[in-house]
Structure 1
Amino acid sequence: MTQAVTVRRDGDTFQARLFWWHAARLLDPGSPIIRVGFENGPKSFDDIWVEYDPKRSAQDQYGAPLRREHVQCKWHVSPDTYGYSHLIDPEFINANTRSLLQRARDAQLAYAPDGIGVRFKLLTNWRLDRADPLRQMIGTRSGAIRLERLYGSATDNSKAGAVRKAWRDHLGLDEEELRVLARTLAFGEATDTLDGLRDNLDVLFAYVGLRRIPRNESAFPYDDVVFQWMAQDRLEFDRKSFPAICDRDGLLGQGEGRRHVYGVKSFEHPIDRLEERCHQVLDLIPAFDERYIRSEADWGDALYPALRAFLLSAARDQSKLRLALDAHATLAFAAGSVLNIKSGRHVELEQRTTGERIWAADDFPPDVNWASLEAEVVELDPQRPDLAIAVSLTHDIAPDVRRYLSATVPTVGRLLMLTPSTGPGAQSVACGRHAFELAEAATRMVREARGSSPVAAVHLFVAAPNGFTFFLGQRQPVLGPVRLYEFDFEGGRDRSYTPSLTLPISTRTGDPV
């Protein structure tokens, strides 16, 4: 009984905190969100819905404006996975007769009969099973189904065909009707803990002027108040009604004022779309097929020039910048190289760790207990001129780097391996100042490894928070010419590295910060 109560309460907490994640943006004039609903709408997709200003809305996976998003929240105490067959099983949503997919079909007919402009999203802390064919059909950028993958075969005698057949038979649809439904479906994995969601809300509340709850207080009244509103039949909120009800219930506090945040994205976070909260967003997603760049030449020919122009324009307007980088490590490093140490700009970074944090080079005083950086140089071949660097802050990448170098980069003679003294891990970097200090230490160690011997090129492999990678990029002029690499973390190709960007890139003069 106790376990059942805990599960239910945690599920309600999960739903409430996701509601506030969207609803709080009704207090932000720069957000495209204009209405938010709670516990009303199509059955099984009524937990939360969000409506966007059509002039500023995000786009769906095929570039059409996204007007509304209906979210079904499903929280589990213990980790597990699901697949395409669960969506046609009523027990998956604790129902007796109608499955999640049947209810999605009802919602699609009522709200998006042509399949365009509305999305129905399952958001859960369970993961799609890696072996399930549905996982390969879900776009990692948006979480939406990629129709070209669902319909990648002409018959039912394939993995994709088996999914289509199971869904068609269950729903009684033909292929075209299923295609219209599938375009509206999306799946998201909630990777943050409940405490992590609370920490993220604290940052957001500081922006928009909602009363902040000290982290040492166990009670978080926002978890309960939205259900009190539901009992009063207050289920929809807009830019006029939401501030009024928050004021009535004493939820408005002293806000810091909305700081301009500049976002760069090459992939989409499952619940935190940058357009909903950033002053400007550089959307580089169209250059990628999921996590993989469509053309390797685009790193230098298209992405870097666009990133440089975007950041220089932002830097001209103000001396203090806040960046949100939902982007590949290559782009984080490149951003640092644009806004380098000599730019004269104070840069804050929205860093995703176990929650969202604001990192800056001076955010905390130094702490002797922070992990230091340890270096080991491996001599591969003294006749080869290049130096490779493997930075293993979040996990150990040295074995993968060595295999890649041996098979692909015959010019590397030495490998510099950098690891935190506490060992790689998600918590190895404590804050912005720590990341800044580690970047300084890494730069010093690279210079020491180079010594007086000429180095033709530096090959950089990084597994680290983007905040660290940005700070390291700020020191690119000291590092010299750098070739960056991206790893196939999703395992969609060969689970190895591919070269990305080489810096510096020659640019026209006359465009300083």
Structure 2
Amino acid sequence: MGEQSASRMQGDRYQHLFSWYVLLSLLDEESPFASAFVEHPEAGAADDVTLHPHPGATVASRYMQVKWHVDHRALYTLEGLTETVGRGRSLLQKLFASWNTLRGQGPVEVWLVSNWSADPELGGYLQGRDWRLTEDFFVEAPAGRLKAARSRWLEHLGVEWDVLRVFCADLRFRLGLASMVELEERVDERMRMHGLRQGPEPRAIALDGIREWIEAGGEAKRLDRAKLRVFIRDRGLLASKTDTPGVGLWIHGWARRQWREPPAVELDWTPHFDRDTRAVPTEAVWREQLLPELREARRRLASRPAESVIDFRGKVPLSVSLAVGTCFPEVAGDRFQVEQATRGETVLWRSDAKPTQRQLQGTEHESAPDAMDLLVVFQLTGDARPDVERFLASHPRRFRAVLVLEPEGGPHDGAVGSDGDAVAFAVLARERIRQARVRWRTATTHLIPYAPAGCCLFLGQRLNAMGPVVAYERTAAGGYVPFMTVETG
């Protein structure tokens, strides 16, 4: 039973990958197709993904059935297409029923798409250029095995030759399609061609969208170019534009790295950081040396063109990313592009990305009524609460209240799927922190981040008019210590 479930899951994944591959063709400006369906409600067995032309186009609508096989123990044959299992219908009967229902709507093609190949006999009747049956299949007086196979098809479907001929002319056998890995590569190639992100995470976002459309049903399953573009934008699938005028800011903290384009400003802080021990500079070093260097970088970059984007690169602690953001605030018009590693893929996030509809859930409680400080735990990609509880136990009277912010569904490594998510979380976190400061009448905010560096950068940009914010770093032993204080006005 477990193997059957795994096979079904693989089949669904293969079907949805192929569907996304087909849907992306709608983005072609010269595509003859105006819309598509996933699991078309009227297409019978040929419903997995369909394409429908613009009015006046000379192409037929395409209705496709996608079949996945976990191994290659067999091939498609002329006889095998008529085989039935139990009391069910054969594959040929299912395709014929779909075609017979749909052909009244206009020109149609019914496609069988599968990773299984055709045997030499069936394959000999398939055209390599367009997956049609060759003219030899339609000879008036067939002989040999073709004669036997055609007679079996006629009897099996219960039709005359003139009907079978029209049906077979509309069949397409796209057999021997790519393996799962190869199909993923083809999907990535098509996504790249349309300026989209590639890799496991963007593909997962696309496949989640297909599943959501299918579950919603009705018009949700119908896609056109405009609807597809909205989905791509809202789910953060657009690749960062590399042709935007920009200037580079490199800060080396945990380690030194080199990137392709030379920076306008480069700060080497590696003598003050040690990744193995997680040692960070003292508050005095930060205040007297590093913060002035960061402010000088801000001054040097102030003459950049107004439309430019700061390309920030560096292996630094989360609190440093937060501090960079506070030094280059959003209200001053500063915009960032930042390299972000997520689930094995490195992408470029932008601070001016359109926020998604993701939500933050917050829990807060009073800790010490006489205290004046607020502790904020900003946890998106992991659960910091066990360490925070130990931290609070060692500071029993330090904080008036504790606010924990995390995404709906809880923190996990895939919680932030795009720069749009990161911007949404930063905007919401800023507002929740502001409300908590007013509610608890606190003076200083203490912030423990457990989030992608890009999120911390974008949050820092929005922490204006928050008073002093103390940023914490995690120690090698698992606790948290204050690292720096940034003044946000």
Q: Which structure has the bigger radius of gyration?
A: 2
- Calculate the TM-score normalised by the size of structure 2: 0.47
- Calculate the TM-score normalised by the size of structure 1: 0.45
